[in-house]
Amino acid sequence: MSQRIASTTAAAGAIRKRQRTLAESQTFFAWILLIPTMIVVAIVGLVPLIQTFYLSLTDARLASITPAEFVGFENYAFLLQDTQFYRTIGNTIFFTVITVGFEFILGLVIAMVINSNFRGRGLMRAAMLIPWAIPTVVSAQMWKWMYNDVYGVINDLLVRQIGILDSNVAFIATNTTVSLVSIAAVDIWKTTPFVALLLLAGLQVISGDVYEAASVDGANPIQKFLYITLPLLRPAILVTLIFRTLDSLRVFDVFFVMFGQRSDTQTMAIYAQQNLVDFSDLGYGSAVSIAIFFIIAIFVVLYVTFLNVEES
Amino acid sequence: MAQKETTAPLYTTTRSRVQFWQRRNMLPTLLSYAGMLCILVVIGLPIYWMIIASLKTNQEIYTIPPTWFPRELTFANYPEAWSAAPFGRYYLNSMLTTVIGSGFEIFFAVTSAYALVFLRFPRKQVIFIILLAALMIPPEITIVPNYITVARLGWVNTYQGIMITGIAIAYGTFLLRQYFLTLPREVIEAAKVDGAGHLQTLWYIVLPIAQPALVTMALISIVYKWNEFLWPLIVTNTTDMRTLPIGIFWLLDQEGVTNWGVVMAGTLFVIAPIVVIFIWAQKYIVEGIAAGAVKE
């Protein structure tokens, strides 16, 4: 009797020990899988971020002979009163809201269309991705040429071919709002395929049987979309919105090609670059970059909170 | 709760797919075609404009009003673009760095995402937050420190210097993690009960079911590597190590304002391999076996 109890406790102990080693080996394995990625992320991302934060607390200048001095939060105090920086925040957020909004809605529509069953969808799926494959430097230059107020094809289309405009418009040359909307259109044209691709992959992971069951239960297409597609697509939606918002908030090349250093349409990233490189002001440019990092963080926290995907 | 209701029918296969399709009428199909036509026109017009520009003579490109069909077809822009820079060598460099660089990125993103979703270990949340933070870093602050790192390794002007992965690896990991979260957990648990190890589960269960997400991630990685401009420009210093986007930028810089047709011709042969990959890859995005894997 007592022997049996002893043996069961011994067995239980062995099992517990085995579970512990299993958990340990799983942790060990997880670290093996994660370590290469984490090393890369630390070296190419986190270390530069910390260095930049340190620089933002100094008055360092590019290629300067005098050593940089520690100035505390002076750069940040100046940043808070910098009207041009506020203007770049406004421009960038305006651009982000328009592009992410349109790209998400259009991308979802395209993803649903090419997810359905019809002839020629394979070709359509490949063709719709082409704008995304064109290097931004080229596509921005091409659109700049198409927007041209003298020989641009868009003016030709709207004025001569369709006739909804009376005379040629300088889309990207004068008015700030018109310029920002025009450049947003370029980004929407180029990046909607990317959004559609991410959402299409999300739709594909959803099983057809789920819809079938809903049809049997008498759900109409709108109900199916609202109560099946959208909830099951949530993880893909989160990826899409985070990727797109991050890229829009850091937008650089399309603005640089189309507007150069024009100040009324400047974005946050161009302002940071201007301070870092053109003004050689490493300290202040770093402060601007850190501020961009935190503005982006606000958006990411909002998305992760509202699209709460961690519940599972 | 809603989650539970929707995943449960995955396993009951009482109703066949045929009935489902038969019940549909023609209206959605027609709407699909109409929608597609609109999308094609909007996407296609600028591309059409690009193609015909590459076939126009230089004077015709700058005529007012612009011509919608080339009055005089010319193919001279293509050989001119090709010989303007050593594009053959650029092709080789771009292909090598894209294939190997993306290969590494995909491999590490897959293993990291698997660990984050299917393994239990302490401080998982911290790792996830670090990855998210890495995504938010403004790229302009990483270029110089990364150049210094690569210089210390002695990798300036080498293939490994060009293809060394950046923050892109955090993008890939985050993307795959989100899609892995939607996979039916029961299938993975079942594989474990059957005695499959982690590598077997990953290779035979997770990757086939997640095929659409995997192909999508691979496409994104390839397109970004192929079109990457600033990093290869900074890290290389001889013509024989440069990549296609640098060639295109050079064309743009040299001929941009005066010889647009040549630039467009050059762009077309840069994007051609990517378009071929799209045509080949798109069927793997929609030929996932999500439903089938669970039925059997």
Tell me whether residue A264 is in a domain.
Answer: yes
CATH of the domain at B232: 1.10.3720.10
Tell me whether residue B260 is in a domain.
Answer: yes
Measured CA to CA, the distance from residue A34 to residue A41 in angstroms comes to 11
Q: Are residues A299 and A210 in the same domain?
A: yes
Report yes or no: B178 and B118 within 8 Å, Cβ to Cβ.
no
Residues of chain A in contact with residue B267, where contact means CB-CB under 8 angstroms, are: 134-135, 138
DSSP string, A134-175: S-HHHHHHHHHHHT-TTT-HHHIIIIIIS--SSS---TTTS-
Residues B169-179 have pLDDT tens digits of: 889 999 999 88
Interface contact flag, A45 B275, Cβ < 8 Å: no
Tell me whether residue B84 is in a domain.
Answer: yes
What's the complex ipTM?
A: 0.84
pLDDT, average across residues B149-160 = 89
Q: Are residues A140 and A189 in the same domain?
A: yes
Tell me whether residue A192 is in a domain.
Answer: yes
Residues of chain B in contact with residue A246, where contact means CB-CB under 8 angstroms, are: 135-136
The residues, any chain, with a CB within 8 Å of residue B21's CB and separated by 6 or more, are A117
pLDDT, average across residues B11-33 = 56
Q: Are residues A157 and A22 in the same domain?
A: no
pLDDT, average across residues B100-120 = 92
β partners of residue A70? A58
Interface contact flag, B220 A131, Cβ < 8 Å: no
Tell me whether residue A212 is in a domain.
Answer: yes
Tell me whether residue B160 is in a domain.
Answer: yes
Q: Are residues A169 and A26 in the same domain?
A: no
Q: Which residue of chain B is at minimal alpha-carbon distance from A109? A: B35
Tell me whether residue B41 is in a domain.
Answer: no
Tell me whether residue A63 is in a domain.
Answer: no
Secondary structure E strands in chain A: none
* pLDDT of res. B1: 37
A31, A45, A145 member nearest B137 (Cβ):
A45
Q: Are residues A13 and A141 in the same domain?
A: no
Q: Is B88 on the interface with A (CB under 8 A)?
A: no
Tell me whether residue B163 is in a domain.
Answer: yes
Q: Are residues A118 and A225 in the same domain?
A: yes
| Residue A225: Cβ within 10 Å count | 14
The residues, any chain, with a CB within 8 Å of residue A185's CB and separated by 6 or more, are none
Measured CA to CA, the distance from residue A116 to residue A111 in angstroms comes to 9
Least confident residue range of A188-192, B55-59, B215-219, B269-273: B55-59
Measured CA to CA, the distance from residue B232 to residue A176 in angstroms comes to 34
Alpha-carbon distance values, B205 to A201, B185, B192 (Å):
17, 11, 10
Measured CA to CA, the distance from residue B83 to residue A198 in angstroms comes to 37
A167: left (phi over 0), alpha (psi -120 to 50) or beta: beta
Tell me whether residue B255 is in a domain.
Answer: yes
Q: What total of structural domains would you count in chain A?
A: 2
Q: Are residues A155 and A247 in the same domain?
A: yes
* pLDDT of res. B255: 66
Q: What total of structural domains would you count in chain B?
A: 1
Measured CA to CA, the distance from residue B92 to residue B97 in angstroms comes to 9
- Residue B222 CA to chain centroid, in angstroms? 5
Tell me whether residue B167 is in a domain.
Answer: yes
The residues, any chain, with a CB within 8 Å of residue A35's CB and separated by 6 or more, are none
pLDDT at B15 over 50: no
Tell me whether residue B112 is in a domain.
Answer: yes
Among B289, B123, B121, B119, CA closest to B201: B119
Measured CA to CA, the distance from residue A300 to residue B135 in angstroms comes to 10
Provide the residue range defining the domain that includes B170. 77-291
Tokens of B197: 């190890």
How many residues can be counted in chain A?
Answer: 312
The residues, any chain, with a CB within 8 Å of residue B86's CB and separated by 6 or more, are B239, B240, B247
Mutant choice from B37, B43, B253 vs A, greatest count of A C-beta within 10 A: B43
Torsion of the alpha carbons at B176, B178, B182 and B188, rounded to the nearest 10: 50
B76: left (phi over 0), alpha (psi -120 to 50) or beta: alpha
CATH of the domain at A243: 1.10.3720.10
Q: What is the pLDDT along chain A (312 residues), one digit of tens a residue?
A: 455 555 566 666 666 666 667 777 888 888 889 998 999 899 888 999 999 999 999 888 877 777 778 888 889 999 999 999 999 999 999 999 999 999 999 999 888 888 877 677 778 888 888 899 888 888 888 888 888 887 778 888 888 777 777 777 777 787 888 899 999 999 999 999 999 999 998 888 776 677 777 777 777 778 888 888 888 888 889 889 999 999 999 998 889 888 888 889 999 999 998 898 888 888 999 999 999 999 999 999 898 888 765 544
Q: Are residues A96 and A205 in the same domain?
A: yes
Tell me whether residue A22 is in a domain.
Answer: yes
A128, A293, A300 member nearest B138 (Cβ):
A293
Provide the residue range defining the domain that includes A42. 1-56
pTM of the model: 0.85
pLDDT, average across residues B258-264 = 80
Residue B202: pLDDT band (50, 70, 90) is: confident
Alpha-carbon distance values, B188 to A29, A161, A304, B60, B207 (Å):
17, 58, 26, 62, 11
